[in-house]
Amino acid sequence: MLKTMNSHPFQHMILAAAVAASTCMGTMGCSHKPATSSDSNEQLMLVGTYTNAGSEGIYSLRFNQSNAEWQLLDSAHVSNPSFLAIDPARALIYSVSEDGGPKDALVLLALNPSTGAMQLKGSWETKGAAPCYVSFSPHATVTANYTGGSLSLFPLDDQGVPAPLEALFPGECTHSDPERQEAPHVHCAHFSPDGRYLFATDFSSDRLLRFAVNETTPLLSQPQVAATIEAGSGPRHLTFAPDGRHAYLISELSGMVHCFDYQADRGELNLKQVIETDSVHARGSAHILLSPDGRFLYASNRLEHEGIAIFAVSPTDGTLTPAGYQLTGRHPRHFALTPNGRYLLAACRDSNSIEIYLRDASTGALTPTGKVIPLSKPVFVGWF
């Protein structure tokens, strides 16, 4: 299940596309600079994919934040690495392996920042089916297990290496939606920016759970209910404003974004706004992200009218105002902004490509560049 792959038919296909792009930069934008280029605009990029259609698993690339040129560096064979957490301080990648069965695992890889080479270090069973999200603190890594309806906690040693599973917390189920909330599901586990709490989206009970964090015991055994939202919403992903004052939640089924005031001293989330992102009610809202300067929020929608909704963020109270909508390829499950905020890269799973959009920093608007990164079933984009 776990091995590094530097030569594979699918990878040869990607490299062939890159070679073709060198003569037509407007189509692919692939760069042929050395992996160790000193260009300050270049950023190490990591992509997670589903592996049931020819993908290797995790890919590392060099991406130029100035001109959107890119270069494939390495790949690592991990089964269905649908979400990654990247520790730049220790050059580690924590990945889920989402098979939906007994082989579901947390996977650890070491990353060479100069070359993009990845080395698999080990895996640990989550004991919760279909881990779909992973995050870490200095002392613990946590996976959210969608089908298992649980959280899996792995303590970390000083080198960032997980210990065997220490705690498994089950979610609950209210059956508000008999088709999509038929059993407990947990979709996200996100540490607060101050590192004092872990928040989890209890998808099938329409609530956010809060766990206190400390150095001795990474998570307390019993969570508190941080927020309860409308029945049948299906809370999916959570993010915090760069200044830590606000938190935003996207709900998959209702297509709503919830804006909260965050009080770090008590770990409280106080609801102040609910705004629609999925106007056609396709029940497939996916990911949510703020621009590096905190001025704009982006939210992706799948299944119908697939694309990314754009909201302006009030600098005074964090509330949202619609600012546009950009159609994308099929099934934009995940997306990321470059660290400088110049580009948005949308992982369009069913289009088998990562689409690159130029972002207007003053309006938040997205403009297609025509450049894509061809990969089979991409579902995660992140930066080292």
In whole angstroms, what is the distance from residue 69 CA to residue 63 CA? 6
* Residue 216: band (very low, low, confident or very high) from pLDDT cuts 50, 70, 90: low
Judge contact between 186 and 144, C-beta under 8 A: yes
Q: Picking from 43-47, 163-167, 274-278, 355-359, which range would have the lowest pLDDT averaged per residue?
A: 163-167
For residue 316, the tally of other CB atoms under 10 A from its CB is: 6
Given pLDDT bands bounded at 50, 70 and 90, which one contains residue 322? very high
What's the rounded Cα separation, in Å, for the pair 118 and 98? 19
> In the structure, what pLDDT confidence band is assigned to residue 148 with cuts at 50, 70 and 90?
confident
**CB count, 10 Å around CB of 272?**
13
Placement of tokens 């080479």 in the chain: 117
Indicate the length of the chain as a whole number. Answer: 384
Complete DSSP assignment for 353-365: EEEEEEE-TTT--
Q: What is the band of 60 on the pLDDT scale with cuts at 50, 70, 90?
A: very high
pLDDT tier for residue 215 given thresholds of 50, 70 and 90: low
How many Å from the N-terminal Cα to the C-terminal Cα in the chain?
24
pLDDT value of residue 175: 66
What is the spatial distance between Cα 240 and Cα 245, in angstroms, rounded to a whole number? 8
Q: The dihedral of CA 264, 265, 268, 272: what is its sign?
A: negative
Tell me how far apart the alpha carbons of residues 169 and 149 are, in angstroms, rounded to a whole number. 9
Q: What does the pLDDT look like over 78-131, one tens digit per residue?
A: 999 999 999 999 999 999 999 877 789 999 999 999 999 999 999 999 998 999
CA distance 302 to 282: 7
What burial letters (b/e) apply to 54-76, b meaning 16+ CB within 10 Å? ebbbbbbbbbbbeebbbbbbbbb
* Tens-place pLDDT, residues 158-198: 999 999 888 788 777 776 777 778 778 899 999 999 888 99
* CA gap 261, 137 in Å, rounded: 22
* Digit-coded pLDDT (tens) for 254-309: 999 999 999 988 889 999 999 999 999 999 999 999 999 999 999 999 999 999 99
Q: What are phi and psi of 13, to 5 degrees?
A: -65, -45
Q: How far apart are CA 151 and CA 139, in angstroms?
A: 16
Question: Which residue, 45, 211, 60, is CA-closest to 140?
Answer: 211
CB 367 within 8 A of CB 322: no
Q: What are 138's two structure tokens?
A: 């200095």
What pLDDT is attached to residue 177? Answer: 74
User: Alpha-carbon distance 93 to 180, whole Å?
Assistant: 31
CA distance 297 to 193: 17
- In angstroms, the CA 384 to CA 373 distance is 18
Supply the pLDDT for residue 231: 92
Domains in the chain, ordered, with CATH? Answer: 3-383 (2.130.10.10)
